[in-house]
Amino acid sequence: MSSYHFRLATLQDKPAIIAFMNTHWGSRHPLINLPDFFSYYYQDGDATRNELNFALCLQESGEIAALCGFLPSSQERDHIWVSIWCADKKAKGSGLELMNKMPDLTGAKLLSCNNIRPNTIPFYEFLGYTGAAMQHWYRLGTVPCRLAKPASLTRLPVSGDGLLRRFETAAEMEAAFCPPEYAKPYKDHWYLARRFFHYPRQEYLVYGGMLDGVCRVLFCLRKVEVEGTVVLRLCDVIGRPALLPHFGQALDRLIEEADAEYMDCYCYGLKEEIMESTGFTLREPQSETIIPHYLTPPLIENLDFYLFTSNPEGFVMFRADGDQDRPNTPC
User: pLDDT category, 331, cuts 50, 70, 90?
Assistant: confident
Cis geometry, peptide bond prior to residue 241 (ω within 30 degrees of 0): no
pLDDT tens digits along 127-151: 999 999 999 999 999 999 999 999 9
Q: What is the mean predicted confidence (pLDDT) over 89-109? A: 96
**Helix then strand then coil, % of the chain, to nearest 5:** 25, 30, 40
Q: In angstroms, what CA-CA distances link 215 with 188, 206, 286?
A: 15, 12, 38
pLDDT tens digits along 22-39: 999 999 999 999 999 999
Does the pTM surpass 0.85? The reply is yes
Please give the torsion angle defined by the CA atoms of residues 252, 186, 180 and 277, in that order, rounded to the nearest 10 degrees: 30
Q: What is the pLDDT of residue 1?
A: 63
Mean pLDDT value across the chain: 97
Q: What is the pLDDT of residue 248?
A: 98
CATH number of 133-318: 3.40.630.30
Q: What is the mean predicted confidence (pLDDT) over 216-243? A: 97
pLDDT tens digits along 55-98: 999 999 999 999 999 999 999 999 999 999 999 999 999 999 99
User: pLDDT category, 215, cuts 50, 70, 90?
Assistant: very high
Residue 286 has pLDDT above 90, yes or no: no
Q: Which residue type does 266 have?
A: Y
The domain ranges of the chain are: 5-108, 133-318
Q: Which residue type does 204 have?
A: Y
pLDDT tens digits along 261-282: 999 999 999 999 999 999 999 9
How many angstroms separate the CA atoms of 113 and 310, rounded? Answer: 9
How many angstroms separate the CA atoms of 281 and 284, rounded? Answer: 9
CATH superfamily of 5-108: Gcn5-related N-acetyltransferase (GNAT) (3.40.630.30)
Q: What is the mean predicted confidence (pLDDT) over 145-173? A: 96
pLDDT tens digits along 304-320: 999 999 999 999 999 99
User: Lowest-confidence range among 217-221, 239-243, 283-287?
Assistant: 283-287
Q: What is the mean predicted confidence (pLDDT) over 192-202? A: 97
Query: What percent of the chain has a predicted confidence (pLDDT) above 70?
Result: 100
Please give the torsion angle defined by the CA atoms of residues 78, 79, 85 and 87, in that order, rounded to the nearest 10 degrees: 30
Is the fold of 5-108 the same as that of 133-318? yes
- For the chain, first and last CA: distance in Å? 40
Q: What is the pLDDT of residue 33?
A: 97
Q: What is the mean predicted confidence (pLDDT) over 175-182? A: 97
